[in-house]
Amino acid sequence: MKLTIRDPRPFRNLFVIEKRLDGHVPAIVRRGDSNRQGFPFDFSSLDRAASMQPTHCTHYTKADQPDNWSSRLGHDRASRGFRTRDIRDSGGTLALGSDWPIAPYDARSIMADAQLRRPAGAPDVDPIGSAQSLTARMALEGYTTHSAAAAGQSAVAGRIAVGMRADLTAFAVDPLTAPPDELADAPVLLTVVAGEVGHRTP
């Protein structure tokens, strides 16, 4: 299925999407048809994955919107940016990443920022759109099962299980229970790529 956005103003009241699946099926989705806080459609129905970079939000925008990105978009559209939680709550696949070298690449801080909606280690900074915060499990899935699904690799990657490709990282803290600020600075104890140990803390 190919999706073509026919309206170049994706955050206006009206969305016009052309779906190509054995022909043309025009779909018009109004904000009133949304399932959560104005999200325009059921993302899971698109058979597509979203790839998002939480640190683009937390490092380059501000809650009170004095930044360049927010100024260019305007208050209303900027307030509807970086909809990570809406995508997950609508059933969508959400892969997380860094867009390095544009933004920091460390997966620990990216998972932390996705939960905090502010830079890790900066508790005095106001969160940006806190309703879009991911849970710890969602953030971890963004780097594991959901990234594998986005790449069409779910059968061989994304989980630690018999028969799966041995690509993994071990932290000194549990990413599901550690406070996000602590996760961002947690020591890396082990990295394994394709079954080969690349790093091990003595």
Rg (CA), the chain: 18
DSSP per position, 31-70: GGG-SSTT--S-GGGG--EEEE-HHHHHHH--TT--SHHH
pLDDT computed for residue 41 by the predictor:
59
pLDDT computed for residue 148 by the predictor:
94
Contact 106, 171 (CB under 8 A): no
Q: Cα–Cα distance between 136 and 140 in angstroms, integer?
A: 6
Where do the structural domains in the chain lie, given as residue ranges?
Answer: 1-33, 34-200
* Helix (H/G/I), strand (E/B), else coil: 188: strand
Q: How far, in Å, are 23, 29, 96, 134 from residue 55 at the CA level?
A: 38, 29, 10, 13
pTM comes to 0.79
pLDDT in tens, 59-87: 999 999 999 988 988 888 888 888 899 88
pLDDT in tens, 94-113: 999 988 888 889 999 999 99
